[in-house]
Structure 1
Amino acid sequence: MALDQLSEVVQKCQSLPEDGYSTEDYDVFTVAGRACVEEGNSLQLLSIVLDEKNQDIVQCMGWNLLPPLIQVLLKKDDQNLPHCLAIFKHLIEVCRPKELLIGLLEQLEQDDPESVAQSLLLLLGPLQKVLLSLGVRKSSSLGLALSSVLDQVCKLPLPMTPEQEQDDVFSLCRCCSELQAFIRPFVEEARDQHSAEGRDPGTLVMGDLERALPQKEDELRTELLKFCMQVLSRLLLGVQLKDQETLPESPLRDFASSILLSLGSIGEPLPALVHQPLLRHRRTPGFLEEEVRYPKESLACVAHLLFVHLLQPDMFPAVYSPVYSLRANMVHVSLLLSRAEQSRIQKGLELYEKSLLRVEDLSLGVDLLELRSFLSVPQNLVKVMTICPHQNLRTKGLKVFQLSMDKFNTEAKYKFFQLMLKTSHHSGVQGYIIKNIRTQVDSALKSGDSDPWFLGVYLLPLLRCVLRLPEGPETDLLQNMDRIMESLNLLRYLVIRDKVTENQTGIWAEMYKIEDRFLKPLRVGINMSRAHYERELLLTREGRKSKAKEPSVSVSVGDEKLPQMTTDTELQALHSALHTFDMMESVLVRVEELIEVKEEE
């Protein structure tokens, strides 16, 4: 029935000019042609489609047959597959490109990851052929196609292990390789246009960076630039690339490298992209604003690929000093560390570490602390170290935090310690800073007067920030335990190491202030806290607490409050608190004894 209807409408249209086809003719051709595919009459349909007398009709209406044909091609095991494939190839050859483009993009849209991969692998080749046939009018259509393709690629799960990438269990690697081949002719065309304008982006250095943008807007390069930037931020920023030792052959690493190469080919030198935060604001010709043209996450991904994975090293000249590159990368690091996604935080830590390792110890001056990024990065790093749910990232964050402090000279360390003690309200972070202060004082005492920042009049303001209780005797000692214990250890070290007669650190001239501001309030606070927790312990043991009363320690995960502690758990927590007070008091007593002995010498 469908075959007869199709034959009738085709025979009718053979005698009509193209503008003589009616809406009914289009409808009958579409419905009957699709039914022929679905009913298995693909051989007869192929005969009609290939008939020389029907080429004008196929050219106008044939693209409507794409949906059922593509479904057969995706199934692969249909007995009509060869005939349907032949019809499909013929339609790609003869139908109008713009109509084909619409039809192919409609069929590209899938939801299931397996279907997404299959449709991409099937349709990317025909899409490329259709776009190339559009000639100079293809730029906007290319942008639409690239956006649709990337939307589909981003639906595929990312491989998390080298084995998953090697086996390509989600077909992402194959799709990326096909996508790389898909954009190659368009990149080559844009590169040739750029070369014809007399600019070679690969040779640009320092003074040329601000002149690196095209002098006139080129739609093809603009669409490719938008695509590359979207690939960087939406796909590659979430992928954990493997190094060559872990995975010698990595399709995803090759794909990332090809994106960087494409950027250089279309007139976007990689040094300009990485160092953009340090360049003067540039007036960008065309309709794209600078932040749209160069999304910040995309630039951060470029920096990560260059400095961490060392991709395309020949495109990044070695003339830039490590400090210059660090300054630029600090902006990228700050952005990545401020995100919530694990992949972005990890990349931020990796980029910061690699950038710091290129810088010599004690080489960063205090002037860098005036830059916004050198203030925001430590703050974001503290959040990673304290509230990030992933233990490996917290540990990595602490390692990079210490590495960053090692790169400052002593004056910069001094200012940095002051800043962190004022801005960080986390006891563990404050304790870590105080521990570093002790290390610097020890180094200064060993080197004599050659470096005065952690001795005498310079050291005292820092000690005044450290040797105090934030809220006097009412300070929560458990919450501030790390800070208090490190402060006591620092004071104990100073008392032992510095003689009263020499007073190199200046503490002996201010010891009475330290006792009034720190030691005495701490003694009172320990006694008050111990009395309170001993009473709580007694009440808990006797079972006198009301069951409706909230537990002394309340813990929530997200918006969900965890169940109340059992009596045994609460008793254990109370014992632990009392043990902490005993430990704190033992160090306090030891410090008081040392002070008394030293003052009597």
Structure 2
Amino acid sequence: MAAVDLQQILQKLRILPEDDFKEEDINVLIVTCQKCLEEDQAALLLNVIQDEENQVIIRSVGWNLIGPVTSWFQKCPEDDDKRKLCLEMINQLIQICNLKEVLLGLLEHIDEAKGEDIPHVILLLLDPLQKVLLNLGNKKAYSVGISLSTIHAQLCLLPVPYTREQIQEDKHFVCQCFSALLQFAKPFVDMVSQSTDVAKDSESEELRKELATFCYSCLKQPLLGAPLHVLPEDMGDNPFHLFAKEILRYFVLLGESLHKAFLKRVNVTQMLESKEIGQEEEEKYADESLACLSYLLFVQHIGIDDFPCVFGPSFVVKSNMEHIDVLLKRTEESVLTKGLELFESSLQRVENNSLHQDLLEIKAILQVVQGLVKVMTLCPIEHLRKKSLQMLQLLIDKFGPEGKYTLFRCLLKTSNHSGVEGYVIQNIKNQIDFALKANTNNKWFVGPRLIPLLHIVLSLPEGAETDLLQNSDRIMASLNLLRYLFIRDSEMDNETGVWAELYKIEHDFLKPLHTGLNMSRAHYEAEIKSAQEKKRGAHGRKTACSVTAGGTELPDMTPEMQLQVLQSALFTFDLMESVLARVDELIEARLKSASEEKIGSSKDV
């Protein structure tokens, strides 16, 4: 039936000049062609397209057939010969129709693809689209750019496989599509690389810019979130690793300087203000793209052979901090992992105790420190929390004494987390121990310079009202530090200056802590008594109740569970009192010794 209707509409249009084609007749022709496909008349439709008598008609309306032909192709089984007819039809339309109209038809169908159809449409139309672009002549830069951005935007809607099983399965054809996209872009990259003088050839320069923008977009997606480590024993060649290598090879072929791109993140703001680059260039140099480029260079060592080796380790650390900051602000596991790996790779080249404290005046470095703290305290993924803590210690190790001192002060004032503060205080204790050893020449962790840091450490945020459970890590670390100082540094030597500050330490820390412990113990003992009464009143029933510990209301729990929590709190107070008692003993022994010395001196007189 559709075949008869098709012949009728063709006969009507053949006798008309092209300018007299009516819109309703064109619409009837397109709908009829679509019915032919649905009725398995693809061979007939191909003959119609190839027929010389129909060339004027096809030239005028043929690009509208790309959508129906592509949709029909998707419905055919993969091994069906009808797919060959479909490809032949598309190739014939490319040869007959206006190339710009065909281009629009192809891009429109790609852009309209949804969900699972996206990869199939792209894989089908990439080759025809490439043929159209190659035949456009000299003025093709914009068309290449819009084609690449349209395809890339659609692929970014697909989930990037992360595990090796997902990569091997490639359920959504993401790996296959991006590999095909590289082959799609290759002839245009070759055109630029083979141009004798790109700078003087405006068309080649425009094409170069479009292709470079595409490469930067690929750094942001899919490479920023994709797994890039090569694990031959698990999955052979990692397709994303290969994709990254090819993208950076394209950078070099396009004359895009890797070291200038690496440094661009630092200069984008200034360049925008001085109008050296426009807003479209700012998008090209997106933070995530440049951060991924830095990761590829310094962690995966992709493209490193084309990167100059003139940059010193401290300069690389300084420059990479902005990239690391960008990565640590994200929440995805893959991106956070890249941020921590880039951080580690940057610092590994630096000798311990060699970083200058002036680096801590750079905003990006302080933001990275805060980012590390957020990951180690808030990230739900355990191995990232542990890795972040290791990276904080690595950063501490790389700074000289003054840098460590400054970093410790910064962390104590900004971390707002008892566990982090306790960790910092343990590091302070280690630095003091190192400074007290002979010939260290470390003046930052002994004497007058140490005192301000000790006053920050040996204090309670809210005096006697401080929540001791919530701050238990910090308090225990502070008590252990104080005990160490009283044992290690005699009053006669007083190298740390702690004995001269005894009165202030007692007033600001020890006495409020005694009071706070008494208050907290009384409160929790009362809570335990109340919980025991509830338990007896419940007669063994599993009655739910709530309890607040450490300033946080815990989920409803049985009386037995409530008692365990409260008793755990008392155990924490016992530990604090044990160390506090030892500190008091050391102070008392010192006062007694001082008193005896005073009496002995009086007798001598």
1:499-540 Cα offsets, whole Å, 9 max, x none, are 121111111111222122211211111111001100111011
Partner of 2:560: 568
Partner of 2:221: 234
Question: Which secondary structure state, in structure 2, belongs to the residue aligned with residue 100 of structure 1?
Answer: helix
TM-superposed CA distance for 1:316, in Å, is: 1.0
1:245-268 Cα offsets, whole Å, 9 max, x none, are 565412211111222222333332
Q: Mean Cα displacement is larger for which, 489-498 or 443-452? A: 443-452
Amino acid at match of 1:409: G
Alpha-carbon distance in 1 for matches of 2:167, 2:87: 31
Note the 1:295-374 alignment, pairs <5 A: 295-374=286-365
TM-superposed CA distance for 1:454, in Å, is: 0.6
Alpha-carbon distance in 2 for matches of 1:284, 1:270: 22
Q: Is the 8 A contact 1:233 1:301 kept in 2?
A: yes
Q: Is the 8 A contact 1:444 1:455 kept in 2?
A: yes
Partner of 2:93: 91
1:127-150 Cα offsets, whole Å, 9 max, x none, are 111122222332222232222211
1:273 to 261, 267, 276: 261
Question: Which secondary structure state, in structure 2, belongs to the residue aligned with residue 503 of structure 1?
Answer: coil
TM-superposed CA distance for 1:15, in Å, is: 4.1
Partner of 2:24: 24
Q: Mean Cα displacement is larger for which, 162-171 or 268-277? A: 162-171
Cα distance change of structure 1 residues 235 and 420 upon mapping to structure 2, 3 Å threshold: same
1:151-200 Cα offsets, whole Å, 9 max, x none, are 221232222222332343432111111011111122222334484438xx
Cα distance change of structure 1 residues 422 and 305 upon mapping to structure 2, 3 Å threshold: same
Q: Is the 8 A contact 1:6 1:29 kept in 2?
A: yes
Partner of 2:211: 224
Partner of 2:2: 2
TM-superposed CA distance for 1:111, in Å, is: 6.1
Does residue 183 (structure 1) correspond to residue 190 (structure 2)? The answer is: no
TM-superposed CA distance for 1:79, in Å, is: 6.1
Cα distance change of structure 1 residues 195 and 584 upon mapping to structure 2, 3 Å threshold: farther
Note the 1:460-475 alignment, pairs <5 A: 460-475=451-466
1:47-99 Cα offsets, whole Å, 9 max, x none, are 22112222222222222222332123223435644433322221222222222
Alpha-carbon distance in 2 for matches of 1:46, 1:257: 41
TM-superposed CA distance for 1:549, in Å, is: 8.3
Does residue 551 (structure 1) correspond to residue 547 (structure 2)? The answer is: yes
Q: Is the 8 A contact 1:217 1:285 kept in 2?
A: no
Note the 1:142-161 alignment, pairs <5 A: 142-161=144-163
Alpha-carbon distance in 2 for matches of 1:225, 1:467: 56
1:439-470 Cα offsets, whole Å, 9 max, x none, are 10111111346111111111111111111112
Amino acid at match of 1:433: V
Partner of 2:584: 592
Alpha-carbon distance in 2 for matches of 1:494, 1:553: 32
TM-superposed CA distance for 1:9, in Å, is: 3.0
Amino acid at match of 1:426: H
Alpha-carbon distance in 2 for matches of 1:523, 1:217: 77
Alpha-carbon distance in 1 for matches of 2:41, 2:267: 64
Cα distance change of structure 1 residues 495 and 562 upon mapping to structure 2, 3 Å threshold: closer
Alpha-carbon distance in 2 for matches of 1:555, 1:419: 25
TM-superposed CA distance for 1:112, in Å, is: 5.9
Question: Which secondary structure state, in structure 2, belongs to the residue aligned with residue 543 of structure 1?
Answer: helix
Alpha-carbon distance in 2 for matches of 1:415, 1:87: 71
Alpha-carbon distance in 1 for matches of 2:431, 2:257: 42
What TM-score, normalized by structure 2, do the two folds share?
A: 0.90
TM-superposed CA distance for 1:554, in Å, is: 9.7
What TM-score, normalized by structure 1, do the two folds share?
A: 0.90
Q: Is the 8 A contact 1:176 1:251 kept in 2?
A: no
Partner of 2:45: 45
Q: What do you get for the CA RMSD once the two structures are aligned? A: 2.7
Q: Is the 8 A contact 1:499 1:598 kept in 2?
A: no
TM-superposed CA distance for 1:286, in Å, is: 6.7
Gaps spanning 5+ residues in structure 1: where?
199-213
Cα distance change of structure 1 residues 367 and 554 upon mapping to structure 2, 3 Å threshold: closer
Note the 1:486-497 alignment, pairs <5 A: 486-497=477-488
TM-superposed CA distance for 1:600, in Å, is: 4.2
Alpha-carbon distance in 1 for matches of 2:357, 2:504: 30
Partner of 2:598: none
Size of the aligned set, in residue pairs, is: 582
Amino acid at match of 2:58: V
- Once the two structures are aligned, what percentage of the paired residues are identical? 46
Cα distance change of structure 1 residues 555 and 186 upon mapping to structure 2, 3 Å threshold: farther
Amino acid at match of 1:145: S
Amino acid at match of 1:569: M
TM-superposed CA distance for 1:382, in Å, is: 0.8
Alpha-carbon distance in 2 for matches of 1:422, 1:551: 30
Cα distance change of structure 1 residues 333 and 79 upon mapping to structure 2, 3 Å threshold: closer
Q: Is the 8 A contact 1:438 1:490 kept in 2?
A: yes
TM-superposed CA distance for 1:396, in Å, is: 0.9
Question: Which secondary structure state, in structure 1, belongs to the residue aligned with residue 511 of structure 2?
Answer: helix
Does residue 447 (structure 1) correspond to residue 438 (structure 2)? The answer is: yes
Partner of 1:128: 130
Gaps spanning 5+ residues in structure 2: where?
594-605
2:241 to 253, 256, 275: 253
Cα distance change of structure 1 residues 306 and 449 upon mapping to structure 2, 3 Å threshold: closer
Question: Which secondary structure state, in structure 2, belongs to the residue aligned with residue 330 of structure 1?
Answer: helix
